[in-house]
Amino acid sequence: MTSPPVLHAEFLKIRTLRSLPGALLALFAGTTAFSALAGASGTSDPEFDPLFTALSGVLPGQIAAISFGAMAVSAEYHGGALRLSLAAVPQRGRWFVAKLTAIAVPTLFVGLATAFAALVVARAGLGSAASGLTVAEDVRGVVGCGIYVTLMALSAAGLTAVLRSGVATLSVLIPFILVVSFVIDDAAGTVADFLPDQAGQIVLHQTYEGTLGPWSGLMVTALWTVAAMLAGAWSVRRRDA
């Protein structure tokens, strides 16, 4: 099979497996709702950052993106689906690239739309408190947020190919992001800036300090993602279906 039919088949799987569009809908709805609440909660914090406040809904919302990447790959390990996929596409590397592309494209699209909607509703709540944000900062936040959630979804996809279980992947990544990352941040200081979630979230801030900036932080997250995808590709190529 040529690449376009392989991609079409993988996009078709994404559209027809009901839980996957549901995860993307949860990404949009959850992120927008939490950002709206953050925008309406006031600005009493002396270190108030209007851009991060507006996009802070992505912190819980990213769980949906991670779930999307994990479920898209774990579905292949149910009922012998992977054997059928590889029978149709014997080149395992080509199939895995198509799978990752089918995950990345809708996640990026929904991530950008989500970030824009979150920014709009949060700025409406913040009112004059957000007047200091420039157009360039708004654009950087929206684009960076879309890229960030896409990288997190791809990291989950790569890890799921290694673990062969969406539940195992979520059991590792979600506690890490919600608990472990913050514990390490408090204990290790600047070292924690290079963790995948901490590095990528720098782009959500109007002001930032430390070794990494918005785009270099996303690059660090991208390197973590590439490592996860390479590990997943190795697992797909070397292990039995």
pLDDT in tens, 96-151: 999 999 999 999 999 999 999 999 999 999 988 888 899 999 999 999 999 999 99
CA-angle at 51, arms to 50 and 54, nearest 5°: 85
Please determine, for residue 229, whether its predicted confidence score (pLDDT) is greater than 90. Answer: yes
pLDDT bracket for residue 89 (50, 70, 90):
confident
The SS3 of residue 14 is helix
Please determine, for residue 87, whether its predicted confidence score (pLDDT) is greater than 80. Answer: yes
Per-residue model confidence (pLDDT) at position 189: 61
Average confidence (pLDDT) over 187-205: 85
Please determine, for residue 69, whether its predicted confidence score (pLDDT) is greater than 90. Answer: yes
C-alpha span between 58 and 180 (Å, rounded):
18
The SS3 of residue 226 is helix
Per-residue model confidence (pLDDT) at position 120: 95
pLDDT bracket for residue 197 (50, 70, 90):
very high
Residue with tokens 């990026």: 108
Whole-structure pTM value: 0.93
Greater confidence (223 vs 2) lies with 223
Per-residue model confidence (pLDDT) at position 185: 65
Please determine, for residue 234, whether its predicted confidence score (pLDDT) is greater than 90. Answer: yes
What would you measure as the largest C-alpha separation in the chain, in angstroms?
59
The answer for residues whose C-beta is within 8 angstroms of residue 191's C-beta and 6 or more apart is 184
C-alpha span between 8 and 10 (Å, rounded):
5
Nearest to 65 by CA among 139, 204, 169, 203: 169
Average confidence (pLDDT) over 53-77: 95
pLDDT bracket for residue 88 (50, 70, 90):
confident
SS3 content of the chain, % helix, strand, coil (to 5): 85, 0, 15
C-alpha span between 20 and 157 (Å, rounded):
13
Per-residue model confidence (pLDDT) at position 80: 80
Assess contact for 231 and 162: CB atoms under 8 A.
Answer: yes
Q: What is the pLDDT of residues 4-13, one digit of tens each?
A: 888 989 999 9
Dihedral of alpha carbons 33, 141, 60, 182, sign: negative
Please determine, for residue 187, whether its predicted confidence score (pLDDT) is greater than 80. Answer: no
In this prediction, what percent of the chain has a pLDDT beyond 90? 67
Please determine, for residue 208, whether its predicted confidence score (pLDDT) is greater than 90. Answer: no
Q: Per the structure, how many domains does the chain have?
A: 1
The CA distances from residue 235 to 1, 90, 159, 160, in Å, are 22, 15, 10, 10
The range of the structural domain enclosing residue 9 comes to 3-238
Residue 211 structure tokens: 């070794």
